Structure 1
Amino acid sequence: MPDRRPGGPRPAPPLVAAVRRLPSPRLTGLGAGLFASAVMLVVGFLDLLLLDGSAVVYGVLFLPVSALTALWVREADLVMAPVIVPIAFTVGIVPISGGEGGFGGQTMAVVTSLAVYAGWLYGGTLVAGLITCVRKARVMTRRRRRVRPGNPDGPAGDGSAAGAGARRH
């Protein structure tokens, strides 16, 4: 039977436990960009092939790709996720934009599609931005706890406040 004391550890809800068991890759900014762009390009081609370029399906599938990109980018490159996902959206929209007449026609079709599907683009960018903000806040909190003066687990490791911004009196 689990420990139910007020100060004891509580079991995690089943959904949280399942999420913790998932792999947690850490991609660089470039890796996250390649991941998101490749996935959205595949989604775009599959959408064109199976559903004749459904904007709703493409937009709905863009949201989880944005979330995964923001979750999987490493902490040092967190700022990249909200920049990467609109680029990936643009890469993936090329197959379903329906442009004809060469490079100029294709470019105009992509620009028009970006304007028409801007809600999905903003939504996915917002998802990535919110996730990266939460992750950055957690990183900053962790760092603040580590370097708090008088913290025995501080950078000196000996209980002193050396290197933790101690004041001189």
Structure 2
Amino acid sequence: MPNPRLTGLGGGLFSGAVMFALGCLDQLLFEGSLTVYGVLFLPLSVLTALWIRRGDQLSAPVVMPIAFTVGLLPLAESGNGFAARLMGLVTALATQAGWLYGGTATAGVTVLVRGFRFAAARRRAAANRRPAARA
């Protein structure tokens, strides 16, 4: 599996572009099924949280809701005009809040697990560097 290291901005651009592409694909293949879109959002949340570099990993739970919203643009019910498109987007966000919170929480938990694993590895490395105590 590739091991890219994205910056916070790069992770946001990556997840936003992928979610927009998935939204367009969902619109074409599944006639805009928001359930399919939500299910596809969850693994992307994990991948983005894994691929953002350690120094920027706290940005993963922040960029995921933005990416979810960007991906909803092709799926939102639209009428005539900007106000109708905006209302469709807000309605889609309100009705799909469970997927949005689930993906954001998944990214947050992934970031926390990565942080704990890094801290544990750092403690082990520090313990291995210390000289053995003499009795």
TM norm structure 1: 0.73
Q: Which residue of 1 aligns with 2:83?
A: 104
Q: Which residue of 2 aligns with 1:89?
A: 68
Q: Per-residue deviation at 1:109?
A: 0.9
Tell me the alpha carbon deviations over residues 63-122 of structure 1, each in whole angstroms, 9 at most, x when there is no partner: 111111011111001101111111100000011011222111111111110000001101
SS of 2:75's partner is coil
Greater alpha carbon shift after TM alignment, 97-106 vs 60-69: 97-106
**2 CA distance for matches of 1:47 and 1:99?**
16
- Paired letter, 1:134: V
SS of 1:133's partner is helix
Q: Which residue of 2 aligns with 1:28?
A: 7
- Which one of 95, 117, 120 corresponds to residue 96 of structure 2? 117
**2 CA distance for matches of 1:144 and 1:84?**
30
SS of 2:60's partner is helix
Q: Structure 1: state its 5+ residue gaps.
A: 1-21, 160-169
Q: Per-residue deviation at 1:147?
A: 4.1
* Higher helix content, 1 or 2: 2
* RMSD over aligned Cα atoms: 1.4
Residue 67 (structure 2) pairs with residue 62 (structure 1): no
Give 1 or 2 for the bigger CA radius of gyration.
1
- Paired letter, 1:57: V
Tell me the alpha carbon deviations over residues 101-152 of structure 1, each in whole angstroms, 9 at most, x when there is no partner: 211111111111000000110111111111110001112222333445xx52
Runs of 4 or more consecutive aligned structure 1 residues displaced over 6 Å after TM superposition: none
Residue 54 (structure 2) pairs with residue 75 (structure 1): yes
- Which one of 49, 52, 76 corresponds to residue 28 of structure 2? 49
TM norm structure 2: 0.91
Q: Structure 2: state its 5+ residue gaps.
A: none
User: Share of identical aligned residues, percent?
Assistant: 55
Tell me the alpha carbon deviations over residues 26-63 of structure 1, each in whole angstroms, 9 at most, x when there is no partner: 11101111110000000001111111100111011111
